[in-house]
Amino acid sequence: MEIERKFLLPELPVDVAEAPSTRLRQGYLAIGPHDEVRIRDAGGVFTLTAKSGAGIEREESETEITRAQFEALWASTEGRRIEKRRHLLAEGDVTYEVDVFEGSLQGLLLAEVEFHSLDEARSFEPPAWFGPEVTHDIGYSNAALAVRGLRGGTPA
Amino acid sequence: MEIERKFLLPELPVDVAEAPSTRLRQGYLAIGPHDEVRIRDAGGVFTLTAKSGAGIEREESETEITRAQFEALWASTEGRRIEKRRHLLAEGDVTYEVDVFEGSLQGLLLAEVEFHSLDEARSFEPPAWFGPEVTHDIGYSNAALAVRGLRGGTPA
8 Å CB contact of B37 and A29 = yes
8 Å CB contact of A30 and B33 = no
8 Å CB contact of A76 and B31 = no
Predicted confidence (pLDDT) per residue in A10-26, tens digit:
999 999 999 999 999 99
Min Cα distance A45 → chain B (Å) is 15
Q: Does the pLDDT value for residue A97 go beyond 70?
A: yes
Which of B1, B2, B34, B35 is the best mutation test for A, with the most CBs of A within 10 A? B35
- Decide which of A54 and A83 is more confident: A83
**Residues facing residue A22 across a β-bridge:** A86
- Decide which of B9 and A3 is more confident: B9
The DSSP-derived string for A74-131 is HGGGTT-EEEEEEEEEEETTEEEEEEEE-GGGTT-EEEEEEESSHHHHHH----TT--
Predicted confidence (pLDDT) per residue in B95-128, tens digit:
999 999 999 999 999 999 999 899 999 999 999 9
CA distance linking residue A95 with residue B39, whole number of Å? 33
User: What average pLDDT does range A119-138 have in this prediction?
Assistant: 94
Burial class (CB in 10 A: 0-12, 13-18, 19+), B36: buried
CA dihedral A59, A60, A61, A66 (to 10 degrees): 170
Ranking A44-53, A103-112, A120-129, B57-66 by mean pLDDT, the lowest is B57-66
CA distance linking residue A2 with residue B134, whole number of Å? 40
Residue B57: the pLDDT is: 64
Q: Do you know the residue count of chain A?
A: 156
Which of B1, B34, B37, B51 is the best mutation test for A, with the most CBs of A within 10 A? B37
- Predicted ipTM? 0.73
8 Å CB contact of A37 and B33 = no
Backbone angles phi, psi at A127, to 5 degrees: -65, 165
| Chain A residues 52-91 within an 8 A CB cutoff of chain B | 52, 59, 61-65, 68-69, 72-73, 75-76
User: What average pLDDT does range A62-66 have in this prediction?
Assistant: 96
Residue B109: the pLDDT is: 97
Percent with pLDDT over 90 in chain B: 74
> Which residues contact residue B51 at a Cβ distance below 8 angstroms, ignoring those fewer than 6 apart?
B2, B35, B36, B37, B38, B58, B59, B60
Q: Does the pLDDT value for residue A31 go beyond 70?
A: yes
Backbone angles phi, psi at B124, to 5 degrees: -65, 130
Residue A53: the pLDDT is: 72
Cα–chain center distance at B121: 17
Min Cα distance A43 → chain B (Å) is 21
Q: Does the pLDDT value for residue A153 go beyond 60?
A: no
User: What average pLDDT does range A77-95 have in this prediction?
Assistant: 92
Q: Does the pLDDT value for residue A58 go beyond 90?
A: no
**Strand locations in chain B (E):** 2-8, 21-31, 35-42, 45-52, 57-65, 81-91, 94-101, 109-115
* pLDDT, block means (10 residues), chain B with 156 residues: 90 92 96 92 96 73 96 93 95 91 94 93 94 93 88 51
Give the pTM. Answer: 0.79
**Residues facing residue A99 across a β-bridge:** A86, A110
Cβ-nearest to B31 among A32, A59, A65: A32
8 Å CB contact of B61 and A68 = no
CA distance linking residue A101 with residue A85, whole number of Å? 6
* Distance spanning both ends of chain A, measured CA to CA: 33
Residue A155: the pLDDT is: 47
